[in-house]
Amino acid sequence: MDNGHMGGMGGMGSDNQEDGNNDIGMGGMSGMMNHGDIPRLAASEGINELSIPPVLERQQGQDFDYEVTAQQGTTEFFEGVSTDTYGYNGDLLGPTLKLEEGESVDVKITNDLDEVTTFHWHGLEVPGEIDGGPHGEIQPGESQIITLEADQPAATLWYHPHVHGSTAEQVFKGLSGMLLIAEGAGSDSELPREYGVDDIPLIFQDRLFDKDNQLSYDRLMNQDGTLGDVSIVNGTINPKLTVTKSVMRFRLLNGANARNYTFQLSNGANFTQIASDGGLLDEPVETDTLTLAASERAEILIDFSTMTEEESLAIINDEGTVLLPFEIALEDSPADSANMWTTDEPFLTEQETEMPVSKEIELFGMADMVTINGKKFDMDRIDFRQEQGVTEVWEVYNKPDMMGGMIHPFHIHGTQFKIISRDGEEVEPNEQGLKDSVLVEPGERVKLLVTFPEKGIFVFHCHILEHEDNGMMGQIEVY
Ligand code: C2O
Ligand code: CU
Ligand code: CU
């Protein structure tokens, strides 16, 4: 698969990168990497048109509707070099699985890898049995047919493997895909929704390559989260996106193992955030900055209607690095802006904000010394129990260490929760929506309003994938 090689940039691989790799590799091995030591991403040169993952096609005449196969492949990130990668139904990443609100589908999941994997539907409220967490192992060569029900609001979710101890490596090698719950046919939503045209998934990841331009995880990995200096969007290096519609909807996923992304527009302009992890925000929010920790999603609208083809615009990060430049080639006449919604209801009722805390989570540590409530993950231990459909308040505390501590993105399977408060304060409008992952700063206490609509065993964990693999994870049984 050609995934946007470097064109004239062929030299980029070797020298300077090799040094970088060593630094990072050593840091990881000693476990003492400075928390602030985050490699800068190389800017996109805008050489390759962004690859858009195809929408997964429905099967005809089978006893299942969709098929998702984890497999090995190769990807040409760099010209003339074939890099070993993993993908779903292909060489890298996976097709977009698109369900409609309320829809129920049978999905055949197959493991064509040489190692065990699982298929986790991140953000989908399904029973523990088919959630694809560490218990859901599928052996090499095996298949299973599961029923996924999209019994929750329209949202941008994703899927990825979740084998305990190998999640980080399998994701790093390329296993991730988008899972969209689309507004139902009867929806009066005026939001752009023509997939690949004005409704675009953007999977942001950083990768580290060795001197042979391979993703040699064992050598490159960092116990505190593998960080790379190469930015890929939807698997494309040096991407650009040609924009043909005046109002574009982007579904951003931070699909990195560990890196936090803070997105801005290169001209400093505002954009509109319309959704968080689990669906539309209470109200759209105008903003010029958006931070997503690993596994978080957001949907935004960017208005290009006043832009000319000569102007340049890009999505950049907070270091000013260009991640995705746009090429403007509008084909429509500036549309009336979509009718946005407002709400009179408060985000949380008074009763909800005053509920007592019933579950306490303490995140602590770094590298391979990470714990939750002082313990490492044990697949045979149930840490908490909660009744199906009954709402409880979880308080998540990120206990600082002697070096200050680090951000942990905390994720719970099987639920879309609301954030009640951060250190006692109401959250910003762009977090007033359903969430399944929440960025927790060192020293911060975050209160969550958590309900599980389905039964089963679910994990909760830090979504820095190496922390997860190192045991920063617990289990809850929903009964
Ligand atoms: Cu993205 Cu435990 O999952
Ligand atoms: Cu998940
Ligand atoms: Cu962590």
Residue 36 pLDDT grade (very low, low, confident, very high; cuts 50, 70, 90): low
> Mind listing the pLDDT tens digit for each residue in 107-126?
999 999 999 999 999 999 99
Quick one: average pLDDT of 95-103?
97
DSSP annotation string for 178-191: EEEEEPPTT----S
* Per-residue tokens: 15: 């020298």
> For position 188, what pLDDT does the model report?
81
Distance, in Å, from the CA atom of 403 to the CA atom of 424, rounded to the nearest integer, reads 25
122 lines ligand 1 (CB under 6 A): yes
Which residue has a Cα nearest atom 3 of ligand 1? 122
In percent, the amount of the chain with pLDDT more than 90 equals 86
Closest atom of ligand 1 to CA, residue 120? 3
- In a 13 Å sphere around the CA of 331, the CA atoms on its Cβ side amount to 7
Specify whether the CB–CB gap between 157 and 122 falls below 8 A.
yes
467 lines ligand 1 (CB under 6 A): no
Closest atom of ligand 1 to CA, residue 413? 2
Q: Give the predicted TM-score (pTM) of the model.
A: 0.93
Cα 6 to the chain's mean position, in Å?
25
> Mind listing the pLDDT tens digit for each residue in 190-247?
899 999 999 999 999 999 999 999 999 999 999 999 999 999 999 999 999 999 999 9
Residue that the structure tokens 């802006």 belong to: 337
The residues, ordered by sequence, that sit 6+ positions from 291 with a Cβ below 8 Å of its Cβ are: 260, 261, 262, 263, 439
Which residue has better confidence, 3 or 356? Answer: 356
> Mind listing the pLDDT tens digit for each residue in 333-352?
876 666 789 988 999 999 99
Cα-to-centroid distance, 152 and ligand 2 (Å): 15
> For position 335, what pLDDT does the model report?
67
- pLDDT greater than 50 at residue 5: no
b/e 247-258 (16+ beta carbons within 10 angstroms → b): bbbbbbbbbbbb
162 lines ligand 1 (CB under 6 A): yes
**Which amino acid, one-letter code, is at 223?**
Q
Closest atom of ligand 1 to CA, residue 461? 2
- pLDDT greater than 80 at residue 56: yes
Q: Across all residues in the chain, what is the average pLDDT? A: 92
5 lines ligand 1 (CB under 6 A): no
Taking the CA of 407 as reference, the closest ligand is 3
- pLDDT greater than 60 at residue 332: yes
> Mind listing the pLDDT tens digit for each residue in 401-440?
888 899 999 999 999 999 999 999 999 999 999 999 999 9
Is the CA virtual torsion 221, 227, 231, 233 positive or negative?
positive
Cα-to-centroid distance, 303 and ligand 2 (Å): 32
The residues, ordered by sequence, that sit 6+ positions from 389 with a Cβ below 8 Å of its Cβ are: 451, 452, 453
> Mind listing the pLDDT tens digit for each residue in 161-189?
999 999 999 999 999 999 999 998 778 88
> For position 8, what pLDDT does the model report?
34
* Per-residue tokens: 334: 């500036």
Cα-to-centroid distance, 255 and ligand 2 (Å): 12
